[in-house]
Amino acid sequence: MKVNFSPQDLEKFDHIGDNHIGTSSDTPIREDAFALNSDEKIEIIRDDVLHILQTLGLDLTDDSLKGTPNRVAKMFVNEIFSGLDPKNKPKASTFENKYKYGEMLVEKNITVYSTCEHHLLPIVGRAHIAYISNGNVVGLSKMNRIVDYYAKRPQVQERMTIQIVRELQSVLNTDDVACVIDAKHLCVNSRGIRDIESSTVTSEFGGQFKDKEVRKEFLSYIQLKTEF
């Protein structure tokens, strides 16, 4: 579906993107988002990427470029935007906390690879997650998988942080979940202001983590150096 925008609309959209303005804590997905299967999406995106590269003046008969449209299309659907499809959502089974561990559990330095939805450039960083069990625990790797699932879509870092916390709150049936993400945005590092040193930190604290002392304890844990 082709949409025509006025010059005023385009200026407004540029302003939103350059100023990192978000619109919702839920990813804006259309109701018909899954009317096409993955193969059909790849075919359409391949043609669109080919058109972009041709418009830029590249010679797509060159051996180095001829496979690029297909590679990009497959990457979009099967890899970096695979978190848009609910069927890829990790199954996070919980278990009874039989050993009665009552302190917070922290999973830190989880690798984040995401994509800024304003310029489709990478977001790369680390997520730190904590929860306090109310009787249930979740497998450690599932926490990493939840981060990866919400990262693999066009994102705003604030939204991603909220989504991760909400998902773990739902899985664990507790409000006592926290998440901090520290990441570099290539839309800042490689274009625009081109500041390669800056990073963005976002946080979301639920339940007991809203308490100043509990939050302080969590933040002190993620500062610890992990040595082997």
Can 185 be counted among the known catalytic residues?
yes
- DSSP 8-state secondary structure symbol assigned to residue 211: S
CA 214 centroid distance within chain: 26
Can 179 be counted among the known catalytic residues?
no
From the list 119, 158, 169, 217, the catalytic residue is 119
- DSSP 8-state secondary structure symbol assigned to residue 207: G
Name the amino acid, one letter, at 78.
N
Can 20 be counted among the known catalytic residues?
no
Query: What is the sign of the dihedral through the CA atoms of 79, 83, 85 and 91?
Result: positive
Can 116 be counted among the known catalytic residues?
yes
From the list 107, 128, 157, 163, the catalytic residue is 157
From the list 107, 155, 167, 187, the catalytic residue is 187
Can 118 be counted among the known catalytic residues?
yes
From the list 116, 128, 204, 208, the catalytic residue is 116
From the list 128, 155, 185, 208, the catalytic residue is 185
Helices (H), the chain: 7-18, 38-55, 68-75, 140-151, 157-172, 186-189, 212-221
Cβ(126)–Cβ(144) below 8 Å: no
Can 128 be counted among the known catalytic residues?
no
Tokens found for residue 118: 């304003």
Tell me which residues are annotated as active site: 116-119, 157, 185, 187
